[in-house]
Structure 1
Amino acid sequence: MRSALPFPTLMSGFVAVLVGYASSAAIIWQAAAAAQATPVQIAGWMTALGLAMGISTLALTLWRKTPVLTAWSTPGAALLVSGLENVTLSEAVGVFIFANALIVLCGVTGLFARLMKVIPHSLATAMLAGILLRFGLQAFVSLQQHLLLCGSMLLAWLVGKALAPRYAVIVALLAGCAVALLQGKIASAPLSFAVVMPEFIAPQFTPSLLLSVGIPFFLVTMASQNAPGFATLQAGGYPVPVSPLIIFTGGLALLLSPFGVYSICIAAITAAICQSPDAHPDPKQRWRASATAGVFYLLAGIFGGSITALMGALPVAWIQMLAGLALLSTLSGSLVQALAQENERDAAIVTFLVTASGMTLVGISSPFWGLLLGGLCYAVLSLRRRA
């Protein structure tokens, strides 16, 4: 068992799911609450989302033997927080079905696959580095307010990196837990691990909502979640067929939309944890970390009713420091690859800076604009060199 699933590989899957839920589960609750969902209905949404991500992650990872991790669309959820205000649950489900049907159509026609093929590797890695930079910065900014907690985690990681590199993040995790427990920063309120079954909600299609919320939600999900997800796979050296994965994830979300599954996408940030050398020294074996994450997703889905309370019990600084340390090697590797080709550095650094800026234009977040502006620089400078 240890040879098939080393402990660092197991922990990489766990950390990926922990970071994914901790960073955006609260946004999902806000979006559901905006659509007037009850606490029980929201818990059912979390159950359905966890099960859908677990099923899709396991299916795609075992099928491709590649660390393919799926996730909900965090930018999409942020858009829904304001877009679903004063909207009924039936109308919200109608928006989900409409947007997911457009995603499936995008996969069937192959339009998205053709777009991904033209993205240079240097720009893909630069965009990934720009996405991950925020997590690295958060880790060290948290030292200012939580010196003992975060400092002990950093010191433990450094010692682990020097003595047993594969276990460095695990050592930091355990050290942080010990310090947080001694400081009384882990909430001790009792948690109920009751299973909350998702509730079927019949859709209602309101044309004005489909245009004003459904189409922007589709565009944000594709540009800000799926595009970075596939770019992350490409940057990690894992070429995968784009259209089949889009059809699978979009189709699963379409099928489960009436139960609150608003989107299932290809993950970027959490996938980078499973694609890291810390997950496994052999790149061909890192799919095991992603498969482990799929199992943890299923467990999180089964206990979806209490997952947010569990996240709330952990110190935010502990989660931020853990995420930053877990993504450190992937961030540094992405920067090396992005700047390796001298004639592509200008375009790569534009992509990196625009992505890292966090800017949002017309509702679409910075990774899309980073690729767009970096691609424009790449095209213009390539034409200049040929001339």
Structure 2
Amino acid sequence: MQLSYWELKNWFTQVDYTIVGSGIVGLHCALALREKFPAAKILVLEKGILPQGASTKNAGFACFGSISEIISDLKTHTEEEVIELVEKRVKGLQLLRKNLGDAVIDYKPYGGYELFLKKDEAFFEHCLQKIPFINAILKPLFHAEVFEKQVDRFGFQNIFDYLIFNPFEGQIDTGNMMQALLKKAISNDILILNQQEVTTFQDLNDKVEVVTNGFTFTTKKLLFATNGFASELTQNQVQPARAQVLITKPIENLDIKGAFHLDQGYYYFRNIGDRILFGGGRNLDFEGETTTDLSQTKIIQDALEQLLKDVILPNTNFEIEHRWSGIMGVGNHKNPIVKQLSNNVYCGVRMGGMGVAIGSLIGKELADLV
């Protein structure tokens, strides 16, 4: 692409910070850099029309982890690491709400619930037994009991009569959140270019040469906030994990409100007004869902519909209005990777499916590195 003199002068000359990825992490990083360096030229490059990974495609859960997820994390992480992860998620959500405002992101504190299928009796009993212990280790963070057993009042079927509830989770409007972040970035003189994919880069010690699908330019610092796409350029231990989602048409007299977790967190659903958004199922095909392909598969979409019929909306007529997929970044550890890669190159990646919760905090931590 041949750029004009004006394009080169205004967008690609004397660039101080270039951020790859315009999602939650990338934009929070850009805003934190603007706060630190009021006169800096900050450029954000995004390969999609909108943020390509999960920032505009997630379910809008303001959550820090269901009890089964926390119990699962304790098998592969130390108790201190798990507490630190939960604390990061809680602080990240607080930062997101503070930065944008609850009214703007349509935050609703409906609480979080975990359902247990009848076939999972042993696991259900295990989670119930662990409630006192999990509450004890989380009490310093929340100063209250987090999890409790509650009778199912939503009319679900083929599950145990009790759900595990916590009052500290909520839901947000993902579209409103990202639109507000983009507006805030633009109003802070942050340049955002879409459909620009970084193909290679070279740290030249005093600057970084960046090659995109259209042109080449230099920047003083290069920061990657590409999460599930991170391994393509940063060689980090991040695996893409596709999350397939569907949403129903409006359902008359829908009486389901909250953020719901099912089957050890591999499924999740919530109401959006009088609709049900339902996603997950990658545990049905881990290998197939380790991909950056944004399409859907029959095996998972059929499973989502069957669970809607058998568990979530029994005896209720519903129609699917829309389906989509997002790409998360996961790995063998739940901790995000925030580090310096070379003299002038940095990354903040691997949100572990918790981008809404920790994305704002990781963006700030990424900016703090420079």
TM-score by length of 1: 0.26
TM-score by length of 2: 0.27
Instruction: Pick the structure with more helix per residue.
Output: 1
Instruction: Pick the structure with more strand per residue.
Output: 2
Quick check: which has more Rg, 1 or 2? 2
